[in-house]
């Protein structure tokens, strides 16, 4: 699923900023790999031999995605209305 999600996310970001395609692509790559590095570091730091640290990282990432989606949706409503 990562291939489908990443490709669509980059396509959506490039659609909003077509004149800055290189910068948008670089930023998307940095966010993609940077969040993986940070998530791995947190899971490794909290590692205690159970799956809970990874579950914590997944939960935090999911909440962050939900909040981001809500903020984008709210902004779109403000622009339209």
39 or 78: which carries more pLDDT confidence? 39
Q: Quote the pLDDT of residue 43.
A: 95
What average pLDDT does the segment 28-52 reach?
93
Domain that holds residue 30: 2-80
- Can you give the pTM of this predicted structure? 0.72
- Coil, helix or strand at residue 1: coil
Which pLDDT band holds residue 10 (cuts at 50, 70, 90)? confident
String of DSSP letters for 33-63: HHHHHHHHHHHHHT--SSSHHHHHHHHHHHH
Segment 49-79, tens digit of pLDDT: 999 999 999 999 999 989 998 998 887 777 7
Total domains in the fold of the chain: 1
């Amino acid at each position: 699923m990562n291939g489908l999600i990443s490709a669509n996310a980059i396509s959506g970001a490039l659609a909003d900023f077509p004149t800055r395609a290189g910068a948008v692509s670089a930023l998307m790559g940095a966010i993609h790999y940077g969040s993986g590095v940070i998530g791995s570091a947190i899971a490794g730091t909290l590692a205690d031999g159970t799956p809970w640290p990874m579950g914590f990282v997944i939960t935090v990432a999911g909440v962050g995605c939900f909040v981001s989606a809500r903020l984008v949706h709210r902004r779109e409503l403000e622009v339209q209305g």
